[in-house]
Amino acid sequence: MINNKKTKIIHVTSVHNHNDVRIYEKECISLSKEYNVEIINPNFEGKINKINFKKIFFFRKSKILRVLTSWIFVLPSTCLGKHKLIHFHDPELIFAAPFWKLFRKKVVYDVHENYSKQILANESLPEIVKIIISKILLFIEAIYSIFFDLIIVVLKDLNPTLNRFNNKVVVNNKPIIDYIFAPKKRKNQACYFGVISEKRGVLKVAKILKEKGIKLIIGGNFDNEHIKNEICKLDNVRYIGFVEREKIIEVVSESKCGLCTLMPTQNHVNGSPTKFFEYLAYGTPVIASNFKSYINEVSSDNDFVFYVNPLDSDEIRKSLLSIFKMSDSAINNLGLSAHLFSKKHHGWEKEEIKLLNAYKTII
C-alpha cells in the first residue's frame, strides 16, 4: 500500500521535542507502517522517515501560559484536515478533546505519568496548593474521559481514575533493542540518563562516586538550577546534555554500571523506569532501587541487577564497590546476560503489536 493512501493520523505534543523516544522513535515509527503519521510539536518542521513534523508555537518558557493556552494553539492544525485520529501526549491538551470530537475525530489520550502524583511530589509548591491542583486534575481527567476513544497508559495501575474506562490499553515504555552486544573495554565510570533531580537519587550517588574517585557521566535535562549547580560543581561528574539514543548506547555500553536509584516517591515506587531496561538492553549491569514494582519486572535472582535501598548510602556504596572491583570480563558477562534477558522479556516489539491492535479497534 503506498503511503498517500494510508489513513492519516496526528500525534500532538506541546511539551516533548519532535524526536522524543516514546512518541517518535517508538509509537510513530511503529504506526507509520500502517498509517500516514504527522507529529505536531514545539520545535521542528520537516520530514524524517516518512513522518511529517509540523512545528507550532507554544509558550515553552512559561509553564503557566503553556498549560493555559497550548490546547488553543493546536486547534487550527488539528480540527481541520483529512486525518481521522488525534493522539495527544500532554494533559494540558485535554481541553481540546471536545472540539476534536465536534469535528468527528477519533481521540487517543496517551498517559505517560500519574500527573496528580507528580504534582504532589513537587517540592516548589505549598502543600495545600499541591493537593488542590492534584484533585482538580483528577476531576478533569475523569470528566473529559467521555471524549476519548482510547486511553493508552504506560503502566497497568498508573492512574486509578482512568481504570474504569473500558477502552484502555497498556503500552509499556520498553526499549527498542536493535543493539548487538559485543564485549567492551569498560571505562572507570557509571552513567545516568533521564531527568536529573534529587528525587532521582543522582546527587546522592554522584557524591558517593566522588569519594571513590569514580566518574559519573550524566545525560538529560535538569529539574531545576539548584540541582544543576550542585551536580556540576562535582569534579567527577561530566554532563553531556540531552543526547540521542546512539550516544546513550555508546556511553552505557562502555560504563561499568547504569544508575536507577530513584527515591521512594509515590510515582517512583509504582513506576517502571525506561532507563532501567535500556541499561540492561545495552549490556550493562544496573544499580536500582529495591522497589517491588522493579523486582516484579526483573527478579533479584538476576546477578546483573544490584538492588539497594535508595535512602541508604552505605548500601549504595557497597554495591558500587562490588561492581567496580570486577574485571571487564566479569562486567561483560553480566552485560551479556542483561542484554539477552532484556531482549527476551522487555523489548518494544510486543508493545508495538499492542499499539497497532488498539488502533484497529477504533479506526
Report pLDDT digits (tens) over 40-75: 999 999 999 999 999 999 998 888 899 999 999 999
Provide the strand spans (E) within 112-227.
150-153, 168-170, 189-193, 215-219
334, 353: one domain: no
221, 249: one domain: yes
Angle at which helices 274-281 and 328-345 cross, to 10°:
120
pLDDT at 1 over 50: no
pLDDT in tens, 82-110: 999 999 999 999 999 999 999 999 999 99
Asked if the structure places residue 179 within a domain, the reply is no
**Total-model pTM:** 0.85
Asked if the structure places residue 47 within a domain, the reply is yes
Say which CATH number the domain at 114 has: 3.40.50.2000
30, 164: one domain: yes
CB neighbours of 272 closer than 8 A, spacing ≥ 6? 154, 155, 172, 173, 293, 294, 297
pLDDT in tens, 246-279: 999 999 999 999 999 999 987 788 777 889 999 9
Q: How many Å from the N-terminal Cα to the C-terminal Cα in the chain?
A: 17
153, 233: one domain: no
281, 296: one domain: yes
Which H or E run contains 286?
strand 286-289
pLDDT cut 90: percent of the chain above it? 77
pLDDT in tens, 145-160: 999 999 999 988 777 7
Pairing of strands 51-55, 46-48: antiparallel
Q: What angle do CA 152, 42, 242 make, to 5 degrees?
A: 85
**What's the rounded Cα separation, in Å, for the pair 69 and 95?**
10
By the 8 A CB rule, do 100 and 79 touch? yes
What's the rounded mean pLDDT across residues 321-340? 97
Asked if the structure places residue 180 within a domain, the reply is no
By the 8 A CB rule, do 33 and 46 touch? no
Domain of residue 283, residue span: 189-345
157, 221: one domain: no
Asked if the structure places residue 181 within a domain, the reply is no
- Number of folded domains that form the chain: 2
User: What is the average pLDDT score of the chain?
Assistant: 93
Asked if the structure places residue 183 within a domain, the reply is no
Cell of residue 357, nine digits = 491492535
